[in-house]
């Protein structure tokens, strides 16, 4: 006997659920809400859903996602925090174009498997992990990203990997484009244990 595909009602119910999720949904979320995977595949095959990453779908009639890579990472790895050059780019305080999405995870946390976009995982712990996190909404998807000041402190901490030219460029752009908060900069410099390194550069810009 030929197996019956998803009914029109099931497809409409699935689309309504995805719209409630701002047009983007993970397979696990859909299944948990009662949507059969077969329904997702049928919607995909009909061109009503587009797969933006493994296990992440978006309705094709939604407005284009403005930052698809960030949205995909936030959808697939909700506990991740966008950091370093990716966070600089998010805050528009770098001229660099990130080739991967840099995320911070707790030491010991399982390394995520993501087909696309490419990610670089950095292991943080204690206050260096939990402090300075901002909650943003990108295309109605929640994104966790470190504040500009926390990001700058992290960049000083990773200056040998990033290059001091990238770090100082970011500090100059922060000075030009954001409220220059010495207190916040020094607060996170202390948390990241780079206060002695950062302070002379901060004072030179006062």
pLDDT tens by residue, 131-155: 999 999 887 789 999 999 999 999 9
Please give the average per-residue pLDDT across 68-95, as a whole number.
Answer: 93
d(CA 83, CA 99): 13
**Mean pLDDT score across all residues of the chain:** 89
| pLDDT tier for residue 102 given thresholds of 50, 70 and 90 | very high
| pLDDT tier for residue 206 given thresholds of 50, 70 and 90 | confident
**pLDDT at residue 64, rounded to an integer:** 59
For the chain, how far is it from start to end, CA to CA, in angstroms? 78
């Amino acid at each position: 006997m030929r197996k019956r595909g998803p009914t029109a009602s099931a497809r409409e119910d699935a689309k309504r659920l995805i719209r409630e999720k701002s047009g983007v949904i993970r397979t696990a979320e859909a299944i948990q809400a009662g949507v059969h995977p077969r329904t997702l595949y049928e919607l995909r095959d009909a061109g009503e859903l587009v797969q933006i990453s493994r296990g992440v779908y978006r309705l094709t009639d939604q407005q284009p996602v403005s930052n698809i890579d960030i949205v995909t990472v936030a959808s697939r790895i909700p506990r991740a925090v966008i950091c370093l050059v990716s966070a600089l780019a998010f805050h528009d305080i770098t001229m660099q174009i990130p080739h991967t999405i840099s995320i911070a995870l707790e030491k010991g946390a399982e390394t995520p498997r993501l087909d696309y976009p490419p990610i670089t995982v950095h292991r943080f712990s204690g206050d260096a992990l939990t402090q300075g996190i901002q909650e943003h909404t990108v295309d109605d998807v929640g994104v966790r990203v470190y504040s500009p000041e926390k990001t700058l402190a992290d960049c000083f901490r990773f200056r040998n990997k990033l290059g001091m030219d990238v770090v100082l460029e970011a500090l100059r752009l922060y000075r030009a484009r954001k409220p220059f908060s010495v207190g916040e900069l020094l607060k996170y410099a202390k948390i990241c244990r780079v206060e002695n390194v950062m302070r002379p550069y901060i004072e030179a810009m006062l």
